[in-house]
Amino acid sequence: MKKDKLKVDPIKNGTVIDHITAGKALQVAEILNISSSETEVMVGINLFSQKMGKKDIIKIENREITQEEANSIALISPTASLIFINDYEVVKKYTVEIPQEIKRHIICPNTNCITNVEGVKTKFTLAGKSPIEVKCSYCEKKYSIEEVKFRF
Ligand SMILES: [Zn+2]
């Protein structure tokens, strides 16, 4: 039974976001807009992990995390892995990858940026990996990932 490997209560259908950097689960929950979600969500913070010492975990019933959402999760927590569950079985599992380019989903903090003034769709490129920084393709300002807000 593959579900034993999760070391968490199983969910029937949905996505488990495992190996989230400890303390980052709430930020991940925010970009996924989980507070307004109608489905069952379980968030675990500072759980013991053999691999990481401590980790956070989020389990979402009846929702499949999209590639775009996975990319945003990677920016917050590059160690996160996604486990897709169908009828208590693991059907797919992968570690998120930090994207080189992020379209639309990051709001530029620069209020004078054309993306805010004229509502142009945002485009950011990865400017640094450790710590993670992104650069607005329009105003060309760089921001740490902690400084930007996500929108889906
Ligand atoms: Zn900008």
Q: Would you list the domain boundaries of the chain?
A: 2-95, 101-150
Query: How does pLDDT run across 99-115, given as a tens digit for each residue?
Result: 999 999 999 999 999 99
Asked whether 133 and 144 are in contact (CB, 8 A), the reply is: yes
User: Could you report the average pLDDT of every consecutive run of 10 residues in the chain (152 residues)?
Assistant: 56 95 94 86 93 95 93 95 96 95 95 96 95 97 95 82
**CA distances for 77 relative to 28, 39, 67, 138, angstroms:** 8, 23, 15, 25
Task: Identify the sign of the CA torsion 50, 52, 54, 59.
Answer: negative
- The end-to-end CA distance of the chain, in Å, is 35
CA of 73 to the centre of ligand 1 (A): 21
Q: Give me the residues near ligand 1 (ion), CB cutoff below 5 Å.
A: 108, 110, 113, 136, 138-139
CA of 123 to the centre of ligand 1 (A): 8
d(CA 29, CA 72): 11
CA of 61 to the centre of ligand 1 (A): 35
Give the model's pLDDT for residue 133: 97
CATH of the domain spanning 2-95: 3.30.70.140
CA of 146 to the centre of ligand 1 (A): 15
* Domain topology for 101-150: SH3 type barrels. (2.30.30)
CA of 29 to the centre of ligand 1 (A): 24
